[in-house]
Amino acid sequence: MGIVFKTVHRTEDILLVVLLSSMIMLASLQIVLRNFFDFGLVWADPLLRVMVLWLGLIGATVASRGNKHIKIDLLSHYFHSTSNLLIQAVVSMFTAGVCLIIAWYGAHWIRLEYIDKMAGFAGIPAWVLEIIIPLSFALIGIRYCLISLCIGRHFYRRSKIHRGLRK
């Protein structure tokens, strides 16, 4: 299972580097072409918008890799560390549920785009450009399920130790 995680992590990292590098080069080329040669690539701006979407969502999957997403950490200051683990497990499971719901409806949307043969730009089908939405949210949802289970297991072990000490 570890090789699967490493492969996914490596793929995310490579995609981020390639996307960001490509975006910088393409945007720079567009600026040079427009400012010095009075023309630009017609397909560059829509492609850059799609690349921003992909970059943002792949970046979100990378952030979910180590539970590094933006979170409001108000409750942890008011609860014991063991109780805080339970709260973190519940919040992670809620996050997973929301992400998996978005992935489900995103996949439905992609299916409709595919059936309706919606066009993106430059002859690329829209579903190809948008498929990152259900894929990234599914990956984030799965990761947060695993995070929740790990935190829950840690909570169980810690609460078991505390119960053993109280007896």
Q: Where are the domains of the chain?
A: 2-166
Higher pLDDT, 122 or 144: 144
Q: Token match 């790990």: residue?
A: 150
For every residue of 40-78, DSSP letters joined together read: --TTHHHHHHHHHHHHHHHHHHHHHHTT-S-----GGGT
- Mean pLDDT over the full length of the chain: 89
CB atoms within 10 A of CB 25: 10
Average pLDDT over residues 121-138: 94
Mean pLDDT, residues 15-39:
95
| Phi, psi angles (nearest 5°) of residue 117 | 55, 45
pLDDT for the residue 66: 80
Predicted pLDDT of residue 115: 95
Q: How far apart are CA 157 and CA 81, in angstroms?
A: 13
Residue 11 to residue 129: CA distance in whole angstroms: 18
What pLDDT score was predicted for residue 87?
86
Give Cα separations from 71 to 62, 75, 77, 82, 159 (angstroms).
15, 11, 14, 19, 24
Mean pLDDT of 151-167: 73
Residues 6+ apart with CB under 8 A from 166: none
pLDDT tens across 84-113, in order?
Answer: 888 889 989 999 999 999 999 999 999 999
